[in-house]
Structure 1
Amino acid sequence: MKVNILICLGLCLIAMIQAENANPATDVKQCSGSKPFPLEVRVHGCVTPPCNIVKGSTQDFEIDFAVDKYITQLTALVKATTLGIITVPYDLPPEVSAVCPNLMYGAYCPLYPTEDVTYLFSFPIGDYPEIGVKIEIYLVDQDGDTATCFVCDIKVVKNTGGTKVYELNYLN
């Protein structure tokens, strides 16, 4: 009886820790047209856009999406819009734009219809001016079809240095 109670308490503790460490969903918008919308997007550290993104860093996005056809290859593409009028493609390094090697939880390509997967998109933020940007992130398959697409407002911010940790060395 005591063993069962201890096991139950242990499982509850593990569930609480996992829930505490989980990233909540971010409120992203649909792309124009009838492009498929993700099941959920989690921008680490941001629930309600605009998301503050530190320039010179990498921002992680977890993108949950379902596919509706057989997919052998997926590529992440980004468009950035500033001042509400200037839209440009945002070049990504090949290791970031390749979706299949960055699928999470043991998923891999090829993907089959009705399969839902999570892509870890590690978005490199260059040393850009501190401005608001609307980014459109879409995943395109081997045929040029959009597998999923969403829009997220971000604000590029300066690195404030974060918390400093001081170490005392009493041996000297």
Structure 2
Amino acid sequence: MLRLLVLFAGLLAVQGQTTNVQRCSGRGRNAPLPINAYVEGCVDPPCPLPRGSFATVHLVFRAPRKLMRMTTHAQAFVVIVPINYPLGEFAETCNFLSNSFCPVMEDEVLQYSLQMQIENGFPVEVSVTVEFRIEDEANESILCIRVPITVVPPVSP
């Protein structure tokens, strides 16, 4: 009963906020999609992400097993070439869970927010596809999403 309540609360928190994401094609292609994924400000990709800002991705997912540690990875696909994108401190998934902490229990519904810097050096109007993959301590993929983005000019102050 408590699990259903937590799941319901998590879904209410992101109700009406869902981004149409795809299953990954790279390393995480066999990983499941999350219960919900929302890239702030974007419902239908390609998601416009302003240069010089942080993109925020909210994920609601169920832990497939007891997890001691999780790491988030990002790869940008320029044409078909994958380029690893370092997330720095944001790669530590457990530090950005909003409703739990690690270790997490099997079947626990987790709410996670990821931030990614859209560097000032990125060319404007360039479209790429980004894959976000969460792995456990054994480097097994827990979930993976693929979302097309377009870098747009910075937001005026």
Residue in 1 that maps onto 2:138: 143
**3-state SS in 1 of match to 2:52:** coil
Alignment map for 1:1-172 (pairs within 5 Å) = 24-32=17-25, 33-82=29-78, 84-93=79-88, 95-105=89-99, 107-127=100-120, 128-130=122-124, 131-162=126-157
Aligned pairs, how many? 140
Q: After superposition, give the CA deviation of every residue in 1:92-124 in whole Å (9 maximum; x if it has no partner).
A: 11x21101010013x111011111101110111
Distance 1:155 1:114 in 2: 35
Distance 1:160 1:96 in 2: 23
**Which structure has the larger Rg over C-alpha atoms?**
1
Distance 2:71 2:112 in 1: 11
Does the 8 A contact of 1:41 with 1:62 survive in 2?
Answer: yes
Q: 4+ runs of 1 displaced by more than 2 Å? A: none
TM-fit CA distance, 1:51: 0.4
Q: After superposition, give the CA deviation of every residue in 1:117-137 in whole Å (9 maximum; x if it has no partner).
A: 011101111120120010000
TM-fit CA distance, 1:86: 2.3
Structure 1 unpaired stretches of 5+: 1-18, 163-172
**3-state SS in 2 of match to 1:71:** coil
TM-fit CA distance, 1:52: 0.3
Stretch deviating more after TM superposition (58-67 or 32-41): 32-41
Q: After superposition, give the CA deviation of every residue in 1:39-65 in whole Å (9 maximum; x if it has no partner).
A: 110111110000000111101110111
Amino acid of the residue matched to residue 116 of structure 1? V
Does the 8 A contact of 1:23 with 1:45 survive in 2?
Answer: no
TM-fit CA distance, 1:23: 5.9
The alignment's C-alpha RMSD in Å is 1.6
Structure 2 unpaired stretches of 5+: 1-11
TM-score between both structures, scaled by the size of structure 1: 0.77
What is the percent sequence identity of the aligned residues? 26
Q: Which protein, 1 or 2, shows the higher relative CO under an 8 Å CA cutoff with sep ≥ 6?
A: 2
Does the 8 A contact of 1:23 with 1:44 survive in 2?
Answer: no
Distance 2:155 2:95 in 1: 33
Distance 2:155 2:65 in 1: 45
Amino acid of the residue matched to residue 44 of structure 2? T
